[in-house]
Amino acid sequence: MVRNRSVAWYGLPALPPLAVTIAIAAMAVGEMAGSHPLTIGAPRNVAEAIAMGDAAAAARFVETGASVSDIALIRPGILADGPVLATPLEAAVIRDQAGTVEFLVARGATAPTDLRCLARDVGARSVRRRVGAEAGCRAGDALHAVMARP
CB-wise, 31 or 137, nearer to other proteins?
31
Least CB distance to other proteins at residue 62 (A):
9
Q: Which of 80, 132, 144 is nearest to 101 (CA)?
A: 132
Residue 114 — left, alpha, or beta (φ > 0 → left; ψ -120 to 50 → alpha)? beta
48, 38 contact by CB (below 8 A)? no
Single-letter residue type at 28: A
CB-wise, 60 or 137, nearer to other proteins?
60
CB-wise, 2 or 135, nearer to other proteins?
2
The contact mask relative to other proteins for 8-37 (x = CB under 8 A, - = no) is -xxxxxxxxxxxxx--xx--x--x----x-
Least CB distance to other proteins at residue 106 (A):
8
According to the binding rule CB under 8 A, does residue 38 interact with other proteins?
A: yes
In whole angstroms, give the CA distance from residue 35 to residue 61. 21
CB-wise, 24 or 141, nearer to other proteins?
24
CA distances from 60 to 21, 63, 77 (A): 33, 5, 23
Sites for other proteins among residues 98-137 (CB under 8 A): 98-100, 102-103
Least CB distance to other proteins at residue 81 (A):
9
In whole angstroms, give the CA distance from residue 53 to residue 51. 5
The dihedral built from the CA positions of residue 137, 97, 91 and 148, taken in this order, carries a sign that is negative
According to the binding rule CB under 8 A, does residue 73 interact with other proteins?
A: no
Query: Which residues lie near other proteins (CB under 8 A)?
Result: 6-7, 9-21, 24-25, 28, 31, 36, 38-42, 52-60, 77-79, 97-100, 102-103
